[in-house]
Structure 1
């Protein structure tokens, strides 16, 4: 591993929690964080295209695609739950748009364990695509690495503007015995201070155990610079409330994005008019919307033919 591992304490400072990139000591009811390696010191406010930020991300926070055979779960209950929620809705459009297209590139932020509700696994397994999986929750990320996905992976979070920053990640979990799918809860984990325009997930948040850890966040552009990527065929965002800000700060003039899948949790059944105006000005057409919006680049000739 490119970094050392350590522990972080929960809000009562009583239970040690696994957390990467740091070691935590408890002293006089204060949590004192010591970075194990000076290379991991990224200050808030550094531009995402700063060479030091890009180099750090590439050298420390990116895990290369696995060369080992897939290690996907075959548990029947898991397989049913892995295709719950909006999975069928999204994959119907992915099949329509990309069946037969080989060797694309995806970015999936909020990748969970790399199999549960994955919007990218089919693209990787069946079409041979490469990509990037971003997951800030440590438990989910460890499970993701164990799946041996053939994509880059990063235990970080996406910054909601064009600057690098450290953020407190709130990880949710439940004790055994609760009759609720684990991904409903762990998938509701979020960055402290980021809120949704809905109380839809409040029941999961309120019932869950909470633990806190520092997470390094980078602008999406930093990952693309680190990997030398200028085209994203599918960009999937599920970051529990920061999706619009991520897209508002994205360098649309220097990166081509063909399809955007973005979770938009809201109480209204009507699409977000201001957000669609922003995306329309960048050439995107709203193909469909439920809890997830599917937006397609109108100037893409291949997609235009597929959807006509």
Structure 2
């Protein structure tokens, strides 16, 4: 998600820490060697102490829409507040607090999950928040194996012309490394490349209920269109909740400098749609 203040002329001078290993690109997404490496060297376990947020936890709990208005809406209108001790994946987790699409579930319903953030400066801020979730300072691979991909700080996303090389892993590999949980809510916000990440997922091997996908850069920074993405997920058994999203934030386009509304598309698996959304 674009927050404006993260970008600026000084952004190019920011150093980014990245552990890359091109040899891992030879490993399949379910390689035991890869899964073990992720567990031992890359994935941080959930925190166990007190939270360390910029505001008191009670303020988040008393104002449930503070972390994310749309996350609150998903819980009330789709899950009906019934899912306790669930699991989320938030890709593009920034500093694990500001604008978080998963924090509400953690505080309100005792969920845990996986926080993915490629930019080490934001990740280092996030790890200090002591979230009760796994985390990894990496990006999601655009292919079904580990890969090293260029990253741009200015666009906050994967970019073949970016100056930084980041180690990326398939989502499926990360899920295997944390025990193959049911993913009740998957938030995918990586500033382009969302469609490619979805194509890496072996849908017959995962259990993902609801997806929130940022789509205003689909077709602009990567191949495929928003319609292609919607059709792709439809073919895999997901219903597009057209009109579910509300216009809640804007960003300044890095090229045109236009003020553009953030567009998220929501999808729910058919069986979950009939079990929860229509019930």
TM-superposed deviation, 1:217: 0.5
TM-superposed deviation, 1:248: 1.4
Are the aligned partners of 1:43 and 1:166 in contact in 2 as well (CA < 8 Å)? no
Greater mean deviation of Cα atoms: 122-131 or 292-301: 292-301
Residues 1:247 and 2:247 aligned together: no
- Once the two structures are superposed, residues 244-273 of structure 1 have per-residue CA deviations (whole angstroms, 9 ceiling, x without a partner) of 1111120100111100110001599xx933
C-alpha spacing 1:277/1:59, structure 2 compared with 1 (3 Å): same
Q: Which residue of 1 aligns with 2:92?
A: 110
Are the aligned partners of 1:65 and 1:151 in contact in 2 as well (CA < 8 Å)? yes
Q: Which residue of 1 aligns with 2:49?
A: 68
TM-superposed deviation, 1:110: 0.2
Structure 2 counterparts to residues 168-247 of structure 1, below 5 A = 168-172=150-154, 188-193=155-160, 212-247=163-198
What 5-or-longer segments of structure 2 have no aligned partner? Answer: 1-11, 220-224, 246-262
- Once the two structures are superposed, residues 201-232 of structure 1 have per-residue CA deviations (whole angstroms, 9 ceiling, x without a partner) of xxxxxxxxxx9443210000101111111421
TM-score by length of 1: 0.70
Structure 2 counterparts to residues 30-49 of structure 1, below 5 A = 42-49=23-30
Q: Which residue of 2 aligns with 1:200?
A: none
TM-score by length of 2: 0.76
Secondary structure of the 1:253 match is helix
What 5-or-longer segments of structure 1 have no aligned partner? Answer: 1-13, 22-34, 173-187, 195-210
C-alpha spacing 1:254/1:230, structure 2 compared with 1 (3 Å): farther
C-alpha spacing 1:16/1:97, structure 2 compared with 1 (3 Å): closer
TM-superposed deviation, 1:193: 1.8
Q: Which residue of 1 aligns with 2:260?
A: none
Are the aligned partners of 1:159 and 1:217 in contact in 2 as well (CA < 8 Å)? yes
> CA–CA distance in 2 between the matches of 1:123 and 1:167?
31
Residues 1:148 and 2:130 aligned together: yes
